[in-house]
Chain A
Amino acid sequence: MSILEVKDLSIQFGGLKAVDHFNLSVDHNELVGLIGPNGAGKTTIFNLLTGVYTPTEGSIYLNDVSTIGKRPSDIVLLGSSRTFQNIRLFKNMTVLDNIKVAYHNRMDYNFVSSIFKTKKYKIEEARANEIAKELLEVFDLLEFKDHLAKNLPYGKQRKLEIARALATNPQILLLDEPAAGMNPQETEELMATIKLIKNQFNVSILLIEHDMKLVMGICERIVVIDYGKIIAKGNPKEIRTNKDVIKAYLGE
């Protein structure tokens, strides 16, 4: 069964069709890459999938539930979660709190409980702490748990953002250029991390990336778009030799 089912997704800004009849289906625990030249509409697709933009046409189903017209925060509850091209952390909050914010909806105590510090409050907070720490452990961030997010080095900020996205317990994770700004060694590390989370957390991953080594190295399937349209689909090997793809990247 597919987790994400996108049909004929289109959006128009003024006269420009930024995304034009985009189709995609992502299966359970699959790792799909979305690539294309700059300005091809990749991030726009993410924004459509996460509810930041409303499509002018088409449908998006997440676990068989339509997400059209839903707010971004409600789409998260349906099981998708994302990172951003330019990292968006809660900079002046601690690393641990960054994770705990994402854990918000999985905690269950109300306003009154928090003021009277009821038993429920204590149990739920303790559980959140435990799970957040476990998650940080996976990403080698536990020793930084009390640091402010803004004080982490760049590569660790990227990791924290992915960890935060995972804390919402998603079934599909959308990563927007996770390797941007990383050196080859950091990228190498990131590839290992992505593989690890795919297996350990049993999620599907859709990622946008410019680093071809990363995309070709870990993606099972790749979708290439240009000018908002799909120009090729296939496994890394097929994509590498596809004429249209080469043309789109290198010009005529």
Chain B
Amino acid sequence: MELFIRQLINGLNTGSIYALVAIGYTMVYGIIKLINFAHGEIMMFGAYFAFLFAFSLSFQLPFILVIVLSMFFAALLGILIERVAYKKLRKAPRISALITAIGMSLFLQHLAQLIFGATPYVMKQLVDTTPVTIFNFDISRLTLLTIGLSIFFMILLSLFVYKTKPGKAMRAVSQDKEAAVLMGINVDNIISLTFAIGSALGALGGIFYAMTYSQIYPTMGVLPGLKAFIAAVFGGIGSIGGAMIGGYLIGIIETMTKAYISSKWVDVIVFGLLIVILLFKPSGILGKNRKEKV
């Protein structure tokens, strides 16, 4: 039982990261129907930004400022990627946009390799990691921070999407772009905003990921990116709530597999799960089914 609860907490930790990253996939998909393969790389750049802000300045920035600055720059990067690579392809066949996204993902990986080198950076801890004892369980402060901050930002996002005017515009654009234009919504700005938010949250996920595994390297975004994407599909791609649920489920399934089966089979089980979901409920837990009209 104790092992189970410990694993559950670990699962929530990993799950928070996946959920944060999955939100970016799902928001972008919801708005321009594109699987943004480069999202994993934004996560990676977010981690590098945090590293730079934390360790390369002559003075020590407070942790929260490191996070906010990294998120801000990742948001800029996200907007830049959309403007340069995806904007022109909005009306192109889906396959072209997808190939561009794959190309962008590879480009960013090798750009990072060129700038930072292929050798991993060691991410020293940015926060105090002494464990806290809750109900006789020693839990790392980092774990608590990861889970806490993730949930905080997810609540903030939900409030933004459902309670503010730009949030409403965002939902309108994802429903029907043409109609949104007619209602006077600036679709380009809304799409940029979506990329900005998704990228900022992805960067946050990347920072936590780097702190959890203490390493930053150019291809670090690939695998967690794919898993977060699976989480988004699991929850129902296009649905923000679904991405959160999916993220936590994948995180828990992964840690439980590691603990009770074998770490060797984690990827097989997670990818196998993806295939099973796609076969039986491709619309995911919270998604809707759509059929082509004849």
Residues of A that sit less than 8 Å from B by CB: 43, 47, 52, 84
Contact = CB atoms under 8 A, between A and B. Distances in A.
| Interface magnitude class on chain B | under 10
B182 interface: no
Contacts of B294: 43, 47, 52, 84
| A-B interface, 4 closest residue pairs, ranked by CB to CB distance from nearest | A52-B294, A47-B294, A84-B294, A43-B294
Interface in B248-294: 294
B291 to A, nearest CB: 10
Interface of B: 294
A51 to B, nearest CB: 11
Contacts, number: 4
4 contacts: A43-B294, A47-B294, A52-B294, A84-B294
A52 to B, nearest CB: 5
Nearest to A47: B294
A47 B294 CA distance: 8
A20 B180 CA distance: 36
A43 B293 CA distance: 11
A43 B294 CA distance: 8
A84 B294 CA distance: 8
Nearest to A50: B294
Contacts of A52: 294
B172 to A, nearest CB: 24
B156 to A, nearest CB: 36
Nearest to A84: B294
Contacts of A43: 294
A243 B294 CA distance: 32
A134 B42 CA distance: 59
A18 to B, nearest CB: 13
A61 B294 CA distance: 22
Nearest to A46: B294
A72 to B, nearest CB: 10
A9 to B, nearest CB: 17
A47 B293 CA distance: 10
B289 to A, nearest CB: 13
B37 to A, nearest CB: 27
